[in-house]
Every structure is written in C-alpha cells, then in structure tokens.
Amino acid sequence: MRYRSRVTAPAALIGTAAALSVGAQAHAAPAATGTPGPETLGDPVYPSLGNDGYRVSAYHLDLAYDATTKLVDATATLKITTTQELTRFSLDALGLDIRTVTVAGRTAAFEQADEKLRITPARCLPAGKKVAVAVTYTADPRRTLAHTAWVPTPDGFAICPQPDSAHTVFPCNDHPVDKADFTFRITVPAGLRGVASGRLVSTENLADGRTAYTYRSREPIATEIVQITVGDYVVTDRPGPHGLPLRDVVPTARATALEPALALTPNLVSWIEQRLGAYPFETYGLLPCNSDDPNAFDFTGLETQTLTLYKPNYLLQEESKIGSHMMHELVHSYFGNLVSPATWADLWINEGHADFYGLLYRYERGWPDSIGLTTMEARMKNTYARGDQWRRDSGPVAAPNAANLFDSQRYLGGVLVLYALRNEIGESAFNAVERAFLDRFRNSSASTDDYIAVASEVSGRDLSGFLRDWLYGTKTPRMPGHPDWTVTPPSTSLRRPENRTDGHHDNSATL
C-alpha cells in the first residue's frame, strides 16, 4: 500500500455527515457491530474532501465515450484496504448517475448525498480487509455543476481535476494524501483516440468499429492530477534525455503549428534533471486539448501526471513567452506529482518550487519577466517589498483558505521563502535539501513540517524557527544577505496580490 503520509486523520466525522442531504437510496443492509467510516480526512482547506476508514491501492477506470450523446458510460473499480471495522464507508462523487455498486462481488446498498457516495456492504468489513469496490455509472461532461473537472471539446473532452474535482469524473477518495496505482481503459468510436496518464499497454479493435485504449501508471497518482482525454488526436513521440520516451497528444489539425513548442521539451527536461535528478515517471509530454474557449478552464497549464494540459493558442507564441511556464509545469512532475501535498495548506511547496525553477530558467536566458525584471534578485526584492501586504490580504504563505488558495502568495510568496532559505544556508546545502526531500517522500505525500524537518536535518541546523517565521508569520522577516531590503507598509484597503487574475490558476510569475 502506498499510503505513507504524516497526516493524522480524525477519529470521527468532523461535522459533515449531519449536514448532508440524502439522495436515492437502496435497501438497507443488516445491522453490524462496526461503525461507519468518517466522511472526511480533515483537510484544513477542504474539510469535507476525502474519506477515512480505508485506503485505496489501485483504481481501474473503464470509460466508453458516445460521440452522439456526448455521454460517458463507466465502471470504476477500486482496490481498498480497510483501516477499521466498517459497516459503511464513503467515496467522493458529484454529478455521476450511479447505477450499481458491488463490494467483494456482492451487491451493496448505496446513497448519494451532496458530494458523497455512501456504500453499505452486505457484510461488515473487518479492519485490514482487502476488497474490490466496483461502481457503474454514467457521466455527462457538459453537465452544469458547482465545480467540475470536465473540459468538453468539440470532439470529446479532457479533464482538469485540481484541486477538488476528480470525483466529478469518477468516484474516488479525492485527496492527494491517498495516492494509488491507475489503469485506464478508454473506448472510443472510429476517428477518435483515447489517452490517459501513464503508458499505452494495449489497443483493442472492437467488432463494432470502436477502439479501446488501455494505459497503466508505473507510479501512483493523486486523484487531482489524473488525465483522461478523448478527441481527434495524433500522438507524437520523440526521444528525451537518457532514452526517456516523450509523447505529445495534439489535435490532428493543429499538429504542425504546435510542433515548435512541443520540440522544446527535451531541453527543458535536461535542464531540470541537472538540478533535481532524473525525471521520475515513465513518459512526459504536452496535451494541448482541442479547445481555446476562454470558459473551458481558468488557467494556462495544469500538471496532470505525465501530460501537461494547455490550450493550443498559448503554445503558438514564441519561446520567450512560453518557455518559463513550460518549465513551471514540468517542475510539478517533481514537486506536486512525485511528492504530493499532504494537505491543501501545503500547496506552496508545489507552486513555490515550480515558480522558483521556472524563474531561474527564464533569467538564465535573459528573458524579461512580466514586470520587466531580468534577475532573480531584482524580482525577489520587488516581491519582498510587497510581503506584508500579501500577508495581510492572502494570509501567510502556508496558511491559505479555499478562497485564496491559488493567490500569488502561494506562488511568488513561496519563491520568496525558498530564496530566503537558499540565502540562509547556501546554494550547495539548499540543493541537497531539495533532492533529499524528493527522495524521502518519493511517490508519497509530504507536509510543510516534513519540508522543515528535511531542511534542518540536511543543513545540520534547526531551521524550524526560521522557516516558520517565513511560512506562518504575519510580518515578513528580514531577508538573509540583504539587510537593506525594506517592506512597504500595507495599505488598509484590500488589494489583490500581484498577478492575480479572475482565474485562480494564473498567478504564476512564470507567465
């Protein structure tokens, strides 16, 4: 089992179940001696997200797309291991028309309540039980929901699950702390192609003219970075460093126009491997999905594992306009994908690192950033001056809420923390901290406390006070090595942090 997080889930449900409104319900199961599993993992940003009482080791998702109805018929099979005796357990699910549920091959009672699928097995599950849970359902990628991962396109769909919407695509334990292995079988009509995270392991030509593509992940994936896409695509393969197979999934009609951007990837991978080590997964590439609709999704790129999702038009720009952000998304393969956040309050680890290396890449090439600066020192001095204002408006770097989770404080604010740490302990020690953190929590999840502990251990110094001041303080600490830098006093009027846009993902300084 892959679960190795430092997070401690609550022993009982944190006040969410009582507020749930009950949907369709099957026949009640017999009474048993166990208890229902908690319908939360106690995340400080999304307290109702995730479920306890079990952990998922693997998902098998079997999806069939109908180009006429635009609907997806699916079966999600989860391999779970119980961590307590369970009379009932829940999965996250929203907007899915559930038809049947089985547990260990036996029909189970179920009900849909708000964003939970409550499952009552025919028999109480003992602690430590390994069991398969199968859910058949239909999904409409065009359905209007409070939030959704579906990105409908003229010829199919892609998905953008981050942070809390994977469960609009498949029932799951939708929290990055519970990473699992994934297999995907995607059945599509003639003329379309199905692609998913991982490597293609089989292609079946079915009797009715449809084709089924099966993909398997070599490493576990957090639900929020799964990718599944259907469309009129061509898959372009090219060699990467050290024989790494690179694959891009490109709209057939736009493949030639997009090739200059796609051809940048091998050098990007080489650059980051020199700093963070070998690329950690079986393949990498870009997915410019077949939609430039401004309403399709509210960000520039999303680091779904082994494929980065983009809108095609963004990638038609010259290298100096896109290279830094392409590096940002590639860095997420290490910080965010290889090592996932233990809670959503730890997002700064993902975004701070992605912007840190993305900006270093930009400045090495002499490309001015969005405010005309050309060095990391100049950008950090500019950001430092805004520190108290950002802490006032968006909270400390490692203390977000759901409304400000993707503010620039998690991006550039995170870069400022890393810059301060590197100044404090030196570049050599900083580089050692980065690699040790990735190695220790490889294919798992890690918290801010974990990062502080690794930094202290590797540097040979207790950095807890230093880093906690930077990550949780309401005032910006002094910058090591720059005693002359000053912080502008915050305004009493609320300001939106630099780079803030109406879409919550586009606050990266690499844009």
Mean pLDDT of 445-453: 98
Angle between helical axes of 387-394 and 408-425 (0-180°, round to 10): 140
Say whether pLDDT at 504 is over 60: no
Predicted model pTM: 0.92
Would you say the C-alpha torsion 170, 173, 179, 182 has a positive or negative sign?
negative
pLDDT in tens, 268-325: 999 999 999 999 999 999 999 988 888 887 788 999 999 999 999 999 999 999 999 9
Long-range pairs for 274-279: beta carbons < 8 A, 24 or more residues apart: 275/357, 275/431, 275/434, 276/331, 276/334, 276/357, 276/434, 276/435, 276/438, 277/334, 277/435, 277/438, 277/439, 278/242, 279/240, 279/241, 279/244, 279/333
pLDDT in tens, 84-93: 999 999 999 9
Least confident of 25-34, 74-83, 192-201, 412-421: 25-34
Alpha-carbon Rg for the chain in angstroms: 23
Task: Please give the Cα distance from 217 to 196 (Å, whole number).
Answer: 9
Mean pLDDT over each residue of the chain, to the nearest integer: 92
Give residue 295's pLDDT.
Answer: 80
Looking at the chain, the whole-number percentage of residues with pLDDT higher than 70 is 91
The phi and psi torsions of 490 (rounded to 5 degrees) equal: -70, 150
Give residue 312's pLDDT.
Answer: 94
Say whether pLDDT at 28 is over 90: no
Task: Please give the Cα distance from 384 to 382 (Å, whole number).
Answer: 6
pLDDT in tens, 36-85: 999 999 999 999 999 999 999 999 999 999 999 999 999 999 999 999 99
Task: Please give the Cα distance from 231 to 4 (Å, whole number).
Answer: 36
pLDDT in tens, 113-161: 999 999 999 999 999 999 999 999 999 999 999 999 999 999 999 999 9
Say whether pLDDT at 360 is over 50: yes
Buried b (16+ CB within 10 A) or exposed e, 33-70: ebebbbbbbbbebbebbbbbbbbbbbbbbbbbbeeeee
Task: Please give the Cα distance from 497 to 116 (Å, whole number).
Answer: 34
Give residue 496's pLDDT.
Answer: 57
CB atoms within 10 A of CB 465: 10
